[in-house]
A and B are shown apart, each in its own frame.
Chain A
Amino acid sequence: MRRSLHPWLLLTAGALGTVPAVASTTEAASPLSDVSVTIYRAANRDGASLDLDDLGGFALVTETRTISIPAGVSRLRFEGVADGIQPATAIITGLPSGLLEKNHDAKVLSPAELVTASIGKNVWLVRTNPKTGESNKVPGSIVSDADGVVFKSAAGLEALRCSGLPETFQFDSTLEGAARPTLSALIRSPKAITTTVRLSYLAQGFDWMASYVATVAPDGKTMDLGAWVTLANANATSFSDAHAQVVAGRLNRESEEVEPIDEGAQIVAQCWPRGSTSDAPETPNIVRASPLTPGWEMYLDRAFKRSAAPAQMAMTALEEVAVTGAKVQQEQLGDLKLYRVPDRTSVASRQIKQVRLLDRKDIPIDLFYRADLPADDEVDDQPLSKVLRTRNDKAHHLDLPLPSGQVATFYERAGVPLLVHEAPLRDITLNEEVEIEAGEAPDLRVTSKVEGRAVNGATVKKLPLIPGVHVRSREIDVTNRVEITNARNQPADVELRLTLDDDTQLVRADHTPFMHNGHQTFRLTVPAEGSATVRYQTVDARYSLTR
């Protein structure tokens, strides 16, 4: 188990506007009484797995603790909040009425910050004599830190680390700075009180997804459906003993103004030009042009990937995947679905955790093969795709909201489930039709040929538009012949889904079409090791200008 980094809270008493360094900083004896993490998924994630280095979701973190607040103005510092915090979303409740302001200081303590903060202030320059090892402390002040550090001592002006001697600064201990961006609240309390404070904020660097496994029975009549909730925390902050929830459904997020950030920097000790008499003259750099063939690029890519692999493995080794046994509990949250991890758990730093979402057995399914066809055009030979269709209701042993995610379809072979396909699933609510794509069937193939295309003479009309120009209106009849072949030793149920242009009508067919999900559809059974044919006619109204 990794050491969990608990968020903590510091209370600084001091008057408004004074340098906090003169005020006493006390860590309030306030054990964290509660922490809750609600994870929201990325709006548009593509891909079946969560990448800890690129999590697009976010979380609402709420922490509760009891603190003592002195009378007067004091500053509450919340340290150890998640790195991905969006400071503008911070809500602090439970404080006495006088919350003056909330601050988020992005400025962090870094070597460069120490130098910048010391400009004009007294520092000591420490110089070590390389022979004697004696170090010499010279009092002085920093004059500038723009592209190199210039300091001033009694001797005059000098530049840092340009002499070839080991040189550094010692700074005044009153300089303050935080190790990480810090959230704080300035409060005024009329009297000393003890209160329960709750801090909530939204933070990036979290995500979750639903991972379904559909196992199709050998007879193809039923399937078992199981699912995991997989949640991930890419932040450096761990939340142990936390209430964990995930929320399903799409929320509206607005693009956020970027908050200032400071990543810290090292001291730049740049000097004057340092060329010497022994420098070789610079040779012009000639780059030979090389043909950009894809093969070459691929080779480079592979070579790069090979060399990057050990690092990748090292990263993976840092990730932790925790699997818990209990199932999440679902409840309604407005128009969204909230799933609660039943027991307190830890949402550790750089951890991926899995909790069971559902397990349903013997779900009746309609297993069929589908072809998508443009209604009045040709389709060259192509395989059909397999679809598992069921309904999210009691009769089909489901009747529960299915949050969007990825479905892996398995077939059993000699008692061992084998993966056949992976496909995305959308948010599906109660009593909705569920379709799971289960991959292509190379043994079932479809072709569509245009048998005839004719202008219907009876419908041709000529209308005068302007002198000399007419609009010609006519209807075009197209007859298509669709052939489906089945090389399997079992009959196959097939659905042909036609896509018609806005002005095209299906007028005649040798099978009965029905409207399903906005498409004219034919359903037929193709015999084992046999074929079937569907013929239909469409009419399209066309207009053209003629003289």
Chain B
Amino acid sequence: MLHIDKRLLRLTLASLSLGPLWAASPVYAADQDLSVTIYADDLALVQDHRTIDLTGGKQRVEFENVSAKIRSETVSLASREPFSIVEQNFDYDLLTPAKLMEKAVGHEVTIVRTNPGTGGETREKAQVLATNGGVVLKIGDHIEVLRDDGLPARVIFDKVPDNLRAHPTLSVTVNSSKSGPAPVTLSYLTPGLGWRADYVALFDEGTSKIDVQGWVTLTNSSGTTYDNAKTLLVAGSPAQESVNDGSGRYIRRPPRPTLAKAGTETGSRERLGDYYLYPLTERTTIANLQTKQVSFLDVHGVPAEHGYEFVNEWLGTSNTPVSAKTVYQFSTSARSGLGDQLPAGILRFYMRDKRGDPQFIGESRIDHTPMGSVLSLATGDAFDVKVQSTVEKRTSLGLFHWRTDMKYVLTNALPKPVTVSLLQSGLWGDTSIKTESQKSTRRNADEAEWKVDLPANGTKTVTATFDTEF
């Protein structure tokens, strides 16, 4: 295959050109086969199968083109061949002009001067004495400063010093009892590779159905390109233990929950422990600085419910009517839903306009969702469905005992009837509703819910009296 030829070419090139410069010439491991397993939380396991040429005895093997963000402590080299690892190094000492000069201190370099008058060149050998602030050279029996006169002077070095490299390079020193080619597997963890899911949902208002496409979005900012890699995606984030003092981090009030009911169905997807696996069917090249999308889900005509929701905080009064949230609810079950578990990502909703063109109508983030769940996603504010809530009266009935009269005016400017799920939160549990204009249900101790049916272009008022100790 083409990429192997390229590697071999590089191998020969490297040994030809740089070979004689090394004291003990290292062996470059030829790339053979890459497998990349990418987790959802900016972490990937790279398995790099290569062939190395064992010389017998102690030798250094260099692995180029590993991730520039490699976590070197996670590197392991496995092989069936009998050899032992003496040590492994991840060298960051980069080859720069300044480093080249620094390493030449005490050694000879060649100076080529160009005569500005004639254009003629003269060559001489010089010994580098120091590079502090400027380069001090000893030429013959005198000492001078490099290019102190500002005239052109080239400096030619005759070798690349040991341990200086163009890229961060992983090198492993091995000790083997036999010689000849040996297949090895280098595996390591690296950040800089990550994936998430992106969903496209097209809602059809007429039939109240959605078409959903799921895309895996891979991003690579690890500094390296992974050629023709076998790619496996893991939906789940393995715990990465870190040294954290556990000091109080600021925790945001959790956003509106999107999972209305957790599913209990098992899908046909492959699993690893408790994580779902999404293998890409074809080998792919994940280039550096690339965003790649591969389809994993395409479902049509799933029933979806379009509703409205409004949450009023405890003692919330608004000066003006406030828009209710637009909520879409659908199932991920096999029988009446998407029929798949959904890895975490962003779901974008589209809807066709009068001309039939899909238009974007909002998005919502979803968590890893098991099959058989019910998702309830808020996509934005409804322009025409609004709620104005007012604390009508608050009466002290005694010590730590209040009565609160609430009024909620719901309006619908749409030419069709709608149902709004009106929620009063902050009830904490110890609150009772003494009177109410329509029956509420208690979603939980903290929230009371009224399902309010609004006529087309109509208004409805809900009143309730709460008995509280706060």
Contact = CB atoms under 8 A, between A and B. Distances in A.
Given A251-B379, A277-B145, A517-B320, A261 B289 contact: yes
A254 B365 contact: yes
B385 A335 contact: yes
B278 to A, nearest CB: 13
Contact of A157 (B100, B194, B282, B385): B100
A530 B115 CA distance: 99
A89 B348 contact: yes
A143 B95 contact: yes
Contact of B399 (A134, A158, A163, A473): A473
A505 B395 contact: yes
Interface in A1-54: 16-19, 36, 38, 40
A62 B352 CA distance: 13
B24 interface: no
Interface in B183-215: 194, 196, 198, 200, 203, 205, 213, 215
A453 interface: no
B363 A254 contact: yes
B131 A272 contact: yes
A251 B362 contact: yes
Given A251-B379, A273-B131, A156 B326 contact: no
Contacts of B166: 119-120, 143-146
A432 B321 contact: yes
A253 B363 contact: yes
Nearest to B328: A334
Nearest to A248: B383
A240 interface: no
Given A164-B152, A335-B385, A105 B295 contact: no
Contact of B100 (A103, A159, A254, A401): A159
Given A100-B294, A131-B117, A120 B13 contact: yes
B399 A165 contact: no
Contacts of A100: 282, 294
Contacts of A141: 17
Contact of A150 (B95, B323, B402, B413): B95
Interface in A119-163: 119-120, 129-132, 134, 141, 143-150, 152, 155-160, 162-163
A378 to B, nearest CB: 23
Interface residues on B, range: 35 or more
A259 B220 CA distance: 9
B382 A335 contact: yes
Contact of B383 (A87, A249, A273, A433): A249
A147 B213 CA distance: 45
A453 to B, nearest CB: 18
A266 interface: no
A471 B389 CA distance: 33
Given A336-B383, A432-B321, A517-B388, A158 B156 contact: yes
Given A270-B97, A429-B384, A130 B114 contact: yes
Contacts of A340: 353
Interface in B96-116: 96-98, 100-102, 110, 112, 114-116
B396 interface: yes
A102 interface: yes
Given A253-B363, A518-B390, A272 B219 contact: no
Contact of B154 (A16, A163, A279): A163
A147 B386 CA distance: 60
Contact of A17 (B198, B228, B288, B402): B228
A99 B413 CA distance: 43
Interface in A244-291: 245, 247-254, 256-257, 259-262, 270-279
A334 B94 CA distance: 58
A515 interface: yes
Interface of B: 2-3, 10, 13-14, 17, 94-98, 100-102, 110, 112, 114-119, 131-135, 145-148, 150-160, 164-167, 194, 196, 198, 200, 203, 205, 213, 215, 217, 219-221, 227-228, 282-285, 287-295, 306, 308, 315, 317-321, 323, 326, 346, 348, 351, 353-355, 357-365, 378-386, 388-396, 398-399, 402, 411, 413-414, 457
11 contacts: A88-B291, A89-B198, A107-B289, A107-B290, A131-B119, A165-B154, A243-B355, A252-B364, A261-B289, A270-B96, A433-B320
In order of increasing CB-CB distance, the 4 nearest A-B pairs are A131-B119, A275-B134, A159-B97, A144-B95
Given A471-B399, A503-B402, 17 more contacts: A87-B291, A102-B294, A129-B114, A144-B96, A146-B96, A150-B97, A165-B114, A249-B383, A251-B362, A252-B362, A253-B362, A257-B196, A276-B150, A429-B383, A431-B411, A431-B457, A432-B413
